[in-house]
């Protein structure tokens, strides 16, 4: 059941990611909806479910993006493993502000990781200012969107997770 | 708690992914062929909301366009006369006629999900004679080139993408340079000499020269943008300038593809 809910939600969010209206962007920077699902699952799901979904969602995002295949897959998987390994959930309180700051930090790390993979694996060269803009604005926008998305996810699937 | 020894298969998995799927890139556009209808449906709410928000602006623009249309009709009449005269004289000189282009209109149905690339998906593909490296223009000037083509969809690499390259020149001083994208709204014109005459507000046009790295042939004289800032390269050898594209790339909804 939870896999079905996540599949439907993931498909909806990937469509939203592809058709995200320009009026809702922050200086042309768009949020990363799929990362919110990865963070949520890494915090609240059991076993290797979060890793499986990180691979799936990263692969799905890579499938529709122009960049080298596997970059999102790798960064999502690393984020998922990192969060699971550190067991951050126990340090997080059930407060929106804490969750917001947490998503902000994780998103920043993911963007940094993604940028490094772009530079190392795809051989890309970026100018510093646009990269910093993506880091800060991308993290902020994803953190803002994470509040309603995580709320919906919690409401939909509370009985399936070890919250 | 994940143990260190459990990470070994995961690390192996990462390397496996890298090795197997790094060659998967070129075929990915076919995903959009099957998603085309859904993506078109998904963009409707945004289109309708934009229409409601900008209705006042549209009526003012309509009035301006009507005036402009009257002026253009007058100019077209004048140009037809000139063309007839040119045809007559060309015929007399027995010159070879230059090849003609035709345009295919397309709608933007999706954007790149990543912030690291600046591409859009359009609803025209090989079925509509769209080929890779075809030049894409908007109402005001250059938009980008076709990077990948599916049967019914294509991916357009916008001028502000870091992978975009085009030989360009400044209209006023005829100074030539290489235009590249920089992820955000602006592009950069590189390889300019320190002595070159460049001023803020200069118009940047495509020069029509073909680059070794690109198969695209940009028709000469396409407007790319205006110079926004002139600075010195970090190496200190020459100058560069920031070019603000004439097209609003973030709000792109319709484009034209030049089919040779």
* pLDDT tens digits along B117-133: 888 999 888 888 888 88
Look over chain A and give the mean of its residue pLDDT values, rounded to a whole number.
81
- Whether B138 and B255 have beta carbons less than 8 Å apart is answered as yes
B50 touches chain A (CB under 8 A): yes
B54 touches chain A (CB under 8 A): no
CA distance A116 to A121: 8
Is residue A82 scored above 70 in pLDDT?
yes
User: Average pLDDT, stretch A75-102?
Assistant: 78
Higher-pLDDT residue of B175, A87: B175
Which pLDDT tens digit goes with each residue over A38-64? 888 888 887 778 888 888 888 888 888
Test B113 with A114 for CB contact under 8 angstroms: no
Domain positions in chain A are: 2-6+31-160
Is residue A3 scored above 80 in pLDDT?
no
Alpha-carbon distance B109 to nearest alpha carbon in chain A (angstroms): 7
- DSSP alpha helix (H) spans, B185-250: none
**Domain A2-6+31-160 classification at class level:** mainly alpha
Closest CA relative to residue B201, chosen from B183, B181, B227, B167: B227
Ranges of residues in chain B whose predicted pLDDT is under 50: 1, 95-96, 99
Which pLDDT tens digit goes with each residue over B151-166? 888 999 999 888 888 8
Provide the pLDDT for residue B146. Answer: 92
Chain B residues touching residue A26 (CB < 8 angstroms): none
Is residue A92 scored above 70 in pLDDT?
no
Closest CA relative to residue A116, chosen from A143, A152, A78, A151: A78
DSSP letter for each residue of A76-97: HHHHHHHHHHHTGGGG--S-HH
Alpha-carbon distance B17 to nearest alpha carbon in chain A (angstroms): 7
Closest CA relative to residue B255, chosen from B128, B147, B112, B141: B141
Nearest by CB to A65, from B14, B114, B157: name it. B114
Is residue A94 scored above 70 in pLDDT?
no
CA distance A74 to A63: 13
Q: Which two tokens stand for residue B131?
A: 């080929």
Chain A residues touching residue B183 (CB < 8 angstroms): 126-127, 130-131, 134
Provide the pLDDT for residue B7. Answer: 61
Tell me the residues of chain B between 172 and 191 that have a Cβ less than 8 Å away from chain A: 182-185, 188
Q: Which two tokens stand for residue B213?
A: 């790295």
B147 touches chain A (CB under 8 A): yes
CA distances, A151 to each of A17, A76, B147 (Å): 19, 21, 39
Closest CA relative to residue B189, chosen from B208, B213, B211, B165: B165
Test B21 with A70 for CB contact under 8 angstroms: yes
């Amino acid at each position: 059941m939870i896999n079905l809910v996540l599949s439907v939600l993931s498909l909806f969010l990937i469509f939203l990611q592809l058709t995200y209206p320009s009026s809702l962007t922050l200086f042309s920077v768009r949020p990363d909806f799929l990362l919110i699902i990865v963070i949520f699952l890494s915090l609240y799901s059991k076993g290797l479910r979060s890793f499986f979904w990180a691979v799936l969602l990263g692969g799905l995002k890579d499938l529709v993006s122009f960049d080298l295949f596997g970059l999102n897959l790798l960064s999502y998987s690393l984020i998922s493993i990192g969060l699971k390994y550190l067991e951050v959930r126990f340090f997080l309180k059930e407060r929106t502000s804490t969750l917001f700051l947490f998503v902000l930090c994780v998103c920043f790390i993911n963007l940094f990781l993604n940028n490094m993979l772009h530079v190392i694996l795809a051989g890309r060269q970026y100018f510093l200012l646009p990269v910093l803009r993506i880091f800060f604005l991308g993290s902020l926008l994803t953190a803002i969107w994470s509040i309603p998305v995580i709320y919906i996810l919690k409401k939909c699937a509370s009985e399936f997770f070890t919250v | 708690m994940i143990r260190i020894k459990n990470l070994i298969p995961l690390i192996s998995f990462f390397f496996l992914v890298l090795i197997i799927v790094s060659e998967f890139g070129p075929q990915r556009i076919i995903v959009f062929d099957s998603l085309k209808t859904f993506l078109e449906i998904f963009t409707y709410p945004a289109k309708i909301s934009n229409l409601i928000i900008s209705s006042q602006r549209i009526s003012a623009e309509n009035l301006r366009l009507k005036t402009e249309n009257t002026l253009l009709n007058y100019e077209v009449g004048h140009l037809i006369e000139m063309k007839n005269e040119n045809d007559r004289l060309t015929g007399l000189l027995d010159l070879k006629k230059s090849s003609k282009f035709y345009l295919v209109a397309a709608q933007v149905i999706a954007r790149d999900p990543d912030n690291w690339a600046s591409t859009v998906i359009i609803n025209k593909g090989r079925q509509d004679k769209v080929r890779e490296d075809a030049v894409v223009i908007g109402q005001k000037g250059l938009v980008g080139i076709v990077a990948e083509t599916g049967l019914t969809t294509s991916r357009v690499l916008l001028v502000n993408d870091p992978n975009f390259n085009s030989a360009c020149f400044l209209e006023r001083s005829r100074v030539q340079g290489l235009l590249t994208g920089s992820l955000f709204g602006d592009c950069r014109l590189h390889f300019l000499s320190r002595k070159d005459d460049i001023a803020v507000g200069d118009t940047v046009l495509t020069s029509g020269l073909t680059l070794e790295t690109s198969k695209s042939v940009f028709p000469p004289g396409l407007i790319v943008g205006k110079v926004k800032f002139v600075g010195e390269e970090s190496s200190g050898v020459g100058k560069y300038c920031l070019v603000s594209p004439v097209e609003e790339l973030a709000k792109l909804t319709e484009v034209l593809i030049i089919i040779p």
